Amino acid sequence: MIGADVAHAAALLRRGNVVAIPTETVYGLAGNALNEASVTQIFTVKQRPSFDPLIVHIHNLSQLNDLVAEFPEQAKKLADCFWPGPLTLILPKKEIIPDLVTSGLPFVGIRMPRHPLTRELLQKLPFPLAAPSANPFTYVSPTTAQHVEDQLGDKIPYILDGGACEVGLESTIVSFAESKPKVLRFGGISKERIEEIIGPVDEQISSSNPVAPGQMDKHYATSKKLQIVSTARELMDCHGCYTIGYGEGDFEYNLSPTSNLEEMARNVFAALRLADESDATLISVCLAPEIGLGRAINDRLRRASR
Q: Which residues are CB-neighbours of 278 under 8 A, at least 6 positions away?
A: 242, 252
Contact criterion met (CB below 8 Å) for 251 and 284 = no
Q: Which does 172 bind (CB under 5 to 8 A by kind): ligand TXA, Mg ion, none?
A: none
Contact criterion met (CB below 8 Å) for 161 and 3 = yes
CB of 216 to Mg ion, least distance (A): 11
Does the footprint of ligand TXA cover residue 52 (CB under 6 A)?
A: yes
* Contact window for ligand TXA (CB under 6 A) among 108-116, 143-151, 252-260, 289-297: 108-116
Phi and psi at residue 47, to the nearest 5°: 55, 45
Q: Which is nearer to Mg ion, 133 or 267 (CB)?
A: 133
In angstroms, how far is CA 75 from the centroid of its own chain? 20
Does the footprint of Mg ion cover residue 41 (CB under 5 A)?
A: no
What residues does 36 pair with on adjacent strands?
none
**The one-letter amino acid at 137:** F
Does the footprint of ligand TXA cover residue 97 (CB under 6 A)?
A: no
Q: Which does 283 bind (CB under 5 to 8 A by kind): Mg ion, ligand TXA, none?
A: none
Q: Which is nearer to ligand TXA, 241 or 301 (CB)?
A: 301
Which of 84, 214, 292, 294 touches ligand TXA (CB under 6 A)?
214
Greatest Cα pair distance, the chain, in angstroms, is 57
- Kindly write out the interface string for residues 267-306 of this chain, putting x where it contacts ligand TXA by CB under 6 A and - elsewhere: ----------------------------------------
Q: What CA–CA distance (Å, rounded) separates 156 from 1? A: 8
N-term to C-term CA, the chain: 34
- Kindly write out the interface string for residues 112-141 of this chain, putting x where it contacts Mg ion by CB under 5 A and - elsewhere: ---------------------x--------
* Contact window for ligand TXA (CB under 6 A) among 37-45, 125-133, 242-250, 273-281: 125-133
Q: Which is nearer to ligand TXA, 28 or 294 (CB)?
A: 28
Question: 118: closest CA among 64, 63, 165, 188?
Answer: 165
CB of 74 to Mg ion, least distance (A): 26
Q: Which residues are CB-neighbours of 146 under 8 A, at least 6 positions away?
A: 2
Q: What CA–CA distance (Å, rounded) separates 155 from 282? A: 30
Residue 46, classed as helix, strand or coil, is helix
Does the footprint of ligand TXA cover residue 102 (CB under 6 A)?
A: yes
**Number of other CB atoms surrounding residue 106 within 10 Å:** 10
**The one-letter amino acid at 26:** V
Does the footprint of ligand TXA cover residue 171 (CB under 6 A)?
A: yes
Residue 253, classed as helix, strand or coil, is strand
Does the footprint of ligand TXA cover residue 55 (CB under 6 A)?
A: yes
Which of 18, 22, 28, 139 touches ligand TXA (CB under 6 A)?
28
Q: Which residues bind Mg ion (CB under 5 A)?
A: 133
The site for ligand TXA (CB under 6 A) is made up of 23, 25-26, 28, 52-55, 86, 88, 90, 102, 105, 107-109, 111, 113, 131-133, 170-171, 173, 184, 211-215
